[in-house]
Amino acid sequence: MADKLIRATAADGGIRAVGVITTRLTEEARVRHKLSYVATAALGRTMSAGLLMASSMKRPGSRVNVRVRGDGPLGGILVDAGLDGTVRGYVGNPSVELPPNAKGKLDVGGAVGSGYLYVVRDIGYGYPYSSTVELVSGEIGDDVAHYLVNSEQTPSALVVGVFVGAEGVTAAGGILIQVLPKAARDEALVTTLESRVSALSGFTPLMQAGKTLTEIFHDLLGDMDLKIFPESQMLRFHCGCSFDRVLGALKMLGAAELQDMILKDDGAEATCDFCGNVYQANGDNLAQLIVDLQRETSVSE
């Protein structure tokens, strides 16, 4: 099944529901970053959560950055997700592996540790909106839901999951259900939703049982005037890095540093943190940057 996002409403527009399938893009991240099992689960859950959060933004080009900073051996997670369905991300220590937790699941909470969740929403102009909450469990789903409830004051239930085995990622995705302001005072509604979502045994067991996002929405909200939007949105792992951007970053180092790189290595190698792409600049590329810098200096004088 291709990676995709679908949207729905229920309770006369008082409930907003979004679901994502992210199996392929999580597998791509696993391969690109050579992620361990637990690192795959941690990054995959965070990428699904980022895409779910970005889906509520309105202005084209809007993006959300989710940064998880915990004291565990994973060394942090950074995800950048867009309303356009693109996502990228990485973890501090991709090779960390831990024994399963008490439930027999990948110990994402143990890998993340305790710390903070930072969210930045950027709508493409003005100051980005940013906020921070303390991590609840480090399991990502709970932490992002806690953020949405406490920092954005939207009653929210969020479930994200990744199943990774010897053959790679075979199931990944999540759902976000939010009670909008027009219905947020309806405490019975909020309680009903919370109990239904918390009764789910996770997201990947539903996928593995062959459930589609549409069927999951019907199970959760089918008796609440559910309306599923007919068009789905494609999702993909995508990074905007390029050789030109790498050259731009190298240029910032200044002529003396560049000259040093030419003498020592006759070039420079740069790896993009977000996607793992490796860029090689040779001595001629660096020499050209020095020429450009000198030209800019003489123009400004």
By the criterion CB under 5 A, which residues form the site for Zn ion?
239, 241, 272, 274-275, 277
Of 105 and 238, which has the nearer Cβ to Zn ion? 238
Q: CA-based Rg of the chain, rounded to a whole angstrom? A: 22
In whole angstroms, give the CA distance from residue 160 to residue 156: 13
Of 249 and 291, which has the nearer Cβ to Zn ion? 249
Of 233 and 277, which has the nearer Cβ to Zn ion? 277
In whole angstroms, give the CA distance from residue 87 to residue 47: 7
Of 31 and 293, which has the nearer Cβ to Zn ion? 31
Minimum CB separation of residue 251 from Zn ion in Å reads 18
Minimum CB separation of residue 130 from Zn ion in Å reads 23
> Does residue 65 contact residue 79 with C-beta atoms inside 8 Å?
yes
CB neighbourhood size of 4 (10 A)? 19
Minimum CB separation of residue 238 from Zn ion in Å reads 9
Minimum CB separation of residue 57 from Zn ion in Å reads 22
Minimum CB separation of residue 240 from Zn ion in Å reads 7
What are the angstrom distances between the C-alpha of 52 and each of 215, 284, 298? 18, 44, 49
Of 91 and 220, which has the nearer Cβ to Zn ion? 91
